[in-house]
Every structure is written in C-alpha cells, then in structure tokens.
Structure 1
Amino acid sequence: MCKIADLREVRKRVLKTRYRVNSLSSVAELASQPDGCDYPVLVVCHSFDADEYAAAIQIARQRWPGIKILSLSAPYQSSKPYLSDVVVGALAGPYVLLATIDSMLQSAGALQA
C-alpha cells in the first residue's frame, strides 16, 4: 500500500517538472514560512483533515491575499472544498493537475516558464 508521504513525493516530482515547488507537510510549516515568501498557488492535499484544511486556507489567505488555492479532493474527504478556488480530484492524474495550475497562474498573471 502506498503511504501519504510517498504520494506527496510523487506529486512534488510531477509539479517540479513545470514549477518551483516548496513542499510542506503540515499547517505549522505553512504558518512558519518566512515573510519574504510569496506563493501564487497553494495546493492543499486531500490528506489534511477538515480542521487542518480550513486552517491552511485561512493562513494562506491572510498571509498572501492574492493566492489561488487548489484543493485535491477524495471521495471520503470531509473537508470544505468550497473554501478553495478550484477543486481537482486526487485521482484525476498529473495532466489535469498541471493544466489546472497553468490556468490558475495565467488568470493570476503569474505563469512561470
């Protein structure tokens, strides 16, 4: 069986093919990001429970008001995906994830090469 850490690593590798990635594994890590950090997109994994999910989005919106938030969802998830800008199924695959992030970056005027 695949562990959450393994899935996070695979997702990070996929995202790194196109973007600069800072992989964080907890809400505390998100909250402790240095003041100079400016993230155009936050991808929130379906492995966060509902409280962690809400806290991560609240922290991100407070720290980076223009941030776009993409939530990865799973059928069993009890989080609140309406708090994010976009929801993508966790099993949708890398092409859907990358295309969605590209679209979010374009709408934010921050598409990276």
Structure 2
Amino acid sequence: MKNIIVLGLGSGTLDQMPIGIYRTIKQAKQLYFRTACHPVVDELGAEGVQYNSFDEVYEAHQQFAEVYEDICERLLSMAEREPVVYGVPGHPLVAEKTVQLLLEKGPQRGIGIEVIGGQSFLDAVFT
C-alpha cells in the first residue's frame, strides 16, 4: 500500500518520545525528517538510525511556501514507490504546513497519510 506515516518528534529529547513513535522510527526503511535541527534527531543519529532531512530544500527556495510544496511533492513521489516515515518537530497537526499539504494531496494521489502525534510546544505551556 502507498502510504506516509507522519510522526511528531515532540519538543524535547528522546526521553519524552512515546515508545510507539520510537519503534516506528527504528523500523522505518525510508525515514525523512523535515529538519535535522532537533535534539531527538541528534540522539537518533547517535544511536545509528539512518535518515534523510530536507534541510537543503530550505536553501533552494526564497519563500517558505515553495519549501513546503517541494517537500510535500518529494514525499508523495517517494511514497508512490515505497512506504515513507516522515518526522516533524512537535506535533504534526500544530503549525506544520507540510503535513497539511500531505493530508490534502495524498488521498488525491491514492496515498494514505497516517498521523501519529508527538508532544507539541503547547503541551509544556499547559502542564
């Protein structure tokens, strides 16, 4: 099945990540992060987790809208060939334009989008 699993990396360290998200990351064959600039990504790299990031896409475009469209298109194209796991900082449904675009465009292309939440920066405010 064509699909993308979107994971929230949370707003802190690996110790705060739900075990289900951690297991999904460890089992992923195609793992992408919107950015490698996150404490969890550093820790996963230290554990030997192989991943790619889209940091170079930010440098290739002048506007954030272009960046997010490009990332979305790349993920959808990859998912047409094999399942993809995509991690974003915080919670995927809080201020994540790439996730909104995937939720809009994925079904139009026959690609399932599964969202698995992570802690958002807002959780720290309310707890």
With the shorter chain as reference, the TM-score category is 0.3 to 0.5
Greater strand percent: which structure? 2
Bigger Rg, which one: 2
TM-score, scaled relative to structure 1: 0.36
- Select the structure with the greater relative contact order (CA < 8 A; seq sep ≥ 6): 2
TM-score, scaled relative to structure 2: 0.34
